[in-house]
Structure 1
Amino acid sequence: MDEAALTDRLAGSLEDTRAARDALVEQGVGVVAPVLDVLCDEESPVEWTVSGDVLCRIGEPALLPLAEAAASARAARSPEVARRIAWATARLEVDDPGVYVPLLKHPHATVRELALSVLRHQDKAAPRRFADPAVPLLGDPAPEVRRQAVLLFEAMGAETAVPLLRRIRRRPAPAPGIRAGALEALAAVAGPAVLDRRDLAAWRRLTRIKRRTEIPEGMHVCGSWYAVPSTDQDAVLDAFGLADPEPVTLRTGAAAWNQDHHGWHRTRTHHKCARVFVSPALDGWTLVFGESSEDTHRIGDADDPEKAQGPVVRRRCADLGRRFGAAQWYGMSCGDGWTAWCIAEGGEVVRHYDVFEAGEREGERQGERGRSRPVGAGAPAHPAEAGYLLPHLDGFPDGAFDGVDLMDFEAYLARRRQVMDEFGIPETCHATDIAARLSVDPGSLGPHTRVTGSGVLALTACGREHGHPEGALPC
């Protein structure tokens, strides 16, 4: 059947094309190629889920053609085409998921990655069945393939995967990188606690090597952190009640912070408050990333945790300020625009701001309550905010964007800049802007950052009881 005839039969909704789809599925392998062409044609009038449904129901005969399409230049050029192919490949109606195993040896990394993804989404018994053919991909040259291989072992569960991975670690590797991949998978499955003495020694040796030449890089900033003007790491650990510090690279520490903060899918108790990352001294400041046991549970046990965060943070900053002369706390979210900061000088909190609690700020700026004059006028609540607009304020006069198509981003930006220049409206500040002025912005670390000592992952009271969270970390 040619593509024009297919288009005529399949143009319509899933309900409208039921009979046509049934007829094509009956024809089987003979229509795979033209249906696949329709699926990959972004200009086709056929809804792509309609053609995709036909391929899924045809099943195994469509697998290899879909794999070749995934490896094609067409898929490489178009993320949308690649997404459609992956969707159909993962949903083929096959009696045995073992049909995907030969694709683990496909020359194209995208196909290997896709096959691993499909296999790991079977029930736990199925990934165990595919462990042996997946082992070589723990050392695959493509990083995303290695990641999917680790995830497949993680899907098996610790009880099954840990013994398998330990055996891989103890045997001579058939190819470079496999034993290293098994070490990563062990950490991903059950955390550092499952690593034996030799594996921990190997990881620590690699960490020491990488720390010598590591160039600081800007961190993905999402979560909260404290900053104190000290290079005395032992004193900082003591101030937060931390123990068992393990030296790590900046890259490892940043990954742990982000992984723990975003680990909403984790089921283990205390996964968010088990450890923190204490940075090396960065331009003379030590940053503490994460959630300490004391603060986390003091907030979480309150009747209103959101209301409790401010007092807990202020108390902690005041205590740190008395000990170190000054202290700051910062918060940022990559998802909902939350930003906050708390500044202590000596043992006194002189400024606390939270965009979501804008009516309950310490050290309120003059003119914040209204918009009768250009926002930015009036004295800042703290010198670090000078020249900035606070994030809860609009600052733009009514009608500033009348006549502008807000869906046209370039037009919106042009008008925004014009109005800001005309009315003298300053840029909006966020926690990282205040941190850059007062201490260190972790999002702007780079070759210019002066690094003293080593960062560490340290256990909180919860971590000392429950151990490190599971999950592999980059070195």
Structure 2
Amino acid sequence: MSVVETGSVRELGVPGRREVVADALVVLGIDAVEPLVRELADEGSPVDWRPIAAVLGRIGEAVAFDGLLRGLAAASGGRSRERLGFAFSGFGAAALDRYTAALSHPVPHVRRMAVRGLQRCGDDARSAVDALVPLLGDPDDEVAREAQNALMSHGEHVIARLRLVRERGPGRQRARALTVLAESGGEGALSRADVAAVERLVRVKLQDDRPEGLWACWNHWIAVHSGDQAGIMRILGLSDPRPVTFALSNDIVDTDSHGFGPDDPYRGDERVFVTPELDGWTLVLGAWCDPCGEERGDDVLRLCVELSHRYGQAHAYYYGGQGDGSAWVVAEHGVVVRRYCETGDAGDALLTLGGPLPFERARRLELGLPPEWDAARENRDEEEEWRWAAHDMAADLARSYGVSPLHLGPDTPSRGTGVVALTPYGLAHGVPPGAFRV
């Protein structure tokens, strides 16, 4: 091939020809770059970006980088920018200096893809941190957000640099610098002045704070029929309460509910949100309140018994917001009235305690099923119908008793201030860092 035709590039999309054509294009080197970039920029191209990017990668950043940069800068359509951006950001650490230089390009989506290219360089990109920091104040919000995410990936290695931004400016960089610090090191990464400023903001927001629905992908909570927030916390062994808004608490609980990796020092049950009194009830929300999990189930049952002995009623619930099932514990006056789990786990039936609650009986009657039942004798169709109904029941069951966190709103009667508090595990091991909505 002395001249690269569009047809030959498009043969990269033909499975039987792809390898031969790719090898030929790599041999052409710089002569193949422009047609390959043109194909990436063509929004109607039938060829996936991956084999084109692979050829450009084999040609190498020294030859292909500038051609891709020109194509990316000239691209106007969303799909062409996306295709070119994927290829442009994929050269790895070999293009580190080129990506760093491109951070100052006049075209915003080139700057954004240069940041993404640095992210794909891994730890090698730490040398570019000083060049990334100014982009926290980029006039293009997408570029600034990309830079923020890239700096977060460097963790503690950016803390000292961003503390300087918080202390000295420039002003456009300061807000995102605070976010990166919170994500990278939590409260310990913030200066005393920043901690005081955040606490002051929370106090201001609390003046007009009203209940709002608390929703996570995996919802666990304890409900106590009392407004004695301090007494409930004492029985649960919670400590270090910090006032929070409903929005802030929801962000924390939802983030923690997603759990952490096997090498992470955190488990997601280090802290809980303890609501103000809500229509006569206090709710405690967080993964630590799981009524059916192997790690926490027995202790949550014990705590519900103890709380109900003191306050009359204490319940615990699980509701999977992604269709992951329901579970509930109801204790009254120191006695377990009911425990029931419908999460799809093989051991669910082994956790059942007590007889069906009035709400369960009523729901079965609505379904045309007998209100009392023996799971061992129920026919398969009845068992399946009930299983699907119970799978989504926890929030409605909680609401039938009084308050469900998923159904809170500004009109829910409220007294006091909600707090985030440490569980015994959190007190011993600390809490994960994070930046949250106040």
Per the shorter chain, which TM-score range? 0.7 to 0.9
1:152 and 2:155 matched: no
1:10 and 2:12 matched: yes
Report the alpha carbon displacement of residue 203 of structure 1 after superposing the two structures with TM.
0.7
Report the alpha carbon displacement of residue 93 of structure 1 after superposing the two structures with TM.
5.6
Aligned residue type for 1:379: P
In structure 2, C-alpha distance between the alignment counterparts of 1:459 and 1:85, rounded to whole Å: 47
In structure 2, C-alpha distance between the alignment counterparts of 1:57 and 1:318, rounded to whole Å: 66
Q: SS where residue 176 of structure 2 aligns?
A: helix
Residue equivalent to 2:56: 55
In structure 1, C-alpha distance between the alignment counterparts of 2:38 and 2:96, rounded to whole Å: 25
Residue equivalent to 2:88: 89
Aligned residue type for 1:203: V
Report the alpha carbon displacement of residue 225 of structure 1 after superposing the two structures with TM.
1.4
- 1:51-130 alignment runs, 5 A limit: 51-58=52-59, 59=61, 60-65=65-70, 67-68=72-73, 72-75=76-79, 84-92=83-91, 95-105=94-104, 111-127=110-126, 129-130=127-128
Q: CA separation of 1:120/1:30 partners in 2, compared to 1, >3 Å: closer, same or farther?
A: same
- 1:334-349 alignment runs, 5 A limit: 334=321, 337-349=324-336
Q: Aligned residue pairs: how many?
A: 412
CA contact (8 A) 1:343 1:349 kept: yes
In structure 1, C-alpha distance between the alignment counterparts of 2:198 and 2:392, rounded to whole Å: 40
Q: What runs of 5+ residues in structure 1 fail to find an aligned partner? A: 76-80, 300-304, 382-390, 397-424
CA contact (8 A) 1:219 1:445 kept: no
Residue equivalent to 1:161: 158
1:209-265 deviation digits (Å, cap 9, x = unpaired): 223344525522414211112333212221211111111222221222122222323
CA contact (8 A) 1:154 1:185 kept: yes
1:23 and 2:24 matched: yes
Residue equivalent to 1:433: 396
In structure 2, C-alpha distance between the alignment counterparts of 1:459 and 1:308, rounded to whole Å: 17
1:21-65 deviation digits (Å, cap 9, x = unpaired): 233234445544543454466765434422232233343134424
Report the alpha carbon displacement of residue 204 of structure 1 after superposing the two structures with TM.
0.7
CA contact (8 A) 2:326 2:391 kept: no
Q: CA separation of 1:379/1:209 partners in 2, compared to 1, >3 Å: closer, same or farther?
A: same
In structure 2, C-alpha distance between the alignment counterparts of 1:327 and 1:375, rounded to whole Å: 28
1:280 and 2:279 matched: no
Aligned residue type for 2:410: P
Query: TM-score, with normalisation over the residues of structure 2?
Result: 0.80
1:185 and 2:180 matched: yes
In structure 2, C-alpha distance between the alignment counterparts of 1:55 and 1:103, rounded to whole Å: 18
Residue equivalent to 1:420: none
Question: Which of the residues 353, 376, 394 maps onto 1:362?
Answer: 353
Aligned residue type for 1:174: P
In structure 1, C-alpha distance between the alignment counterparts of 2:366 and 2:50, rounded to whole Å: 52
Aligned residue type for 1:23: A
Residue equivalent to 2:377: none
1:333 and 2:320 matched: yes
Report the alpha carbon displacement of residue 470 of structure 1 after superposing the two structures with TM.
1.9
CA contact (8 A) 1:150 1:188 kept: no
CA contact (8 A) 1:274 1:463 kept: yes
Report the alpha carbon displacement of residue 448 of structure 1 after superposing the two structures with TM.
3.4
1:99-124 deviation digits (Å, cap 9, x = unpaired): 22344455666554443333234333
Aligned residue type for 1:347: G
In structure 2, C-alpha distance between the alignment counterparts of 1:374 and 1:242, rounded to whole Å: 41
Report the alpha carbon displacement of residue 140 of structure 1 after superposing the two structures with TM.
4.7
In structure 2, C-alpha distance between the alignment counterparts of 1:105 and 1:11, rounded to whole Å: 35
Q: What runs of 5+ residues in structure 2 fail to find an aligned partner? A: 374-380
Aligned residue type for 1:165: L
In structure 1, C-alpha distance between the alignment counterparts of 2:247 and 2:134, rounded to whole Å: 26
In structure 2, C-alpha distance between the alignment counterparts of 1:140 and 1:380, rounded to whole Å: 64
1:142-163 deviation digits (Å, cap 9, x = unpaired): 66655543433333332x3222
Q: SS where residue 95 of structure 1 aligns?
A: helix
Report the alpha carbon displacement of residue 202 of structure 1 after superposing the two structures with TM.
0.7
Residue equivalent to 2:204: 209
Aligned residue type for 1:74: G
In structure 1, C-alpha distance between the alignment counterparts of 2:81 and 2:70, rounded to whole Å: 13
Question: Which of the residues 160, 167, 189 maps onto 1:170?
Answer: 167
1:254 and 2:237 matched: no
Residue equivalent to 1:470: 433
Q: SS where residue 255 of structure 1 aligns?
A: helix
Q: Which moved more, 1:37-46 or 1:210-219?
A: 37-46
- 1:265-344 alignment runs, 5 A limit: 265=261, 267-292=263-288, 309-334=296-321, 337-344=324-331
Q: CA separation of 1:163/1:35 partners in 2, compared to 1, >3 Å: closer, same or farther?
A: same
Q: CA separation of 1:91/1:452 partners in 2, compared to 1, >3 Å: closer, same or farther?
A: same
Report the alpha carbon displacement of residue 308 of structure 1 after superposing the two structures with TM.
6.2
1:377 and 2:369 matched: yes
CA contact (8 A) 1:125 1:156 kept: no
Question: Which of the residues 220, 223, 227 maps onto 2:223?
Answer: 227
Aligned residue type for 1:57: R
Residue equivalent to 2:378: none
1:460 and 2:423 matched: yes
CA contact (8 A) 2:326 2:393 kept: yes
In structure 2, C-alpha distance between the alignment counterparts of 1:20 and 1:190, rounded to whole Å: 49
CA contact (8 A) 1:188 1:472 kept: yes
CA contact (8 A) 2:356 2:372 kept: yes
1:377-409 deviation digits (Å, cap 9, x = unpaired): 22269xxxxxxxxx994229xxxxxxxxxxxxx
Q: CA separation of 1:94/1:180 partners in 2, compared to 1, >3 Å: closer, same or farther?
A: closer
In structure 2, C-alpha distance between the alignment counterparts of 1:83 and 1:195, rounded to whole Å: 36
Q: Which moved more, 1:34-43 or 1:190-199?
A: 34-43
Residue equivalent to 2:338: 351
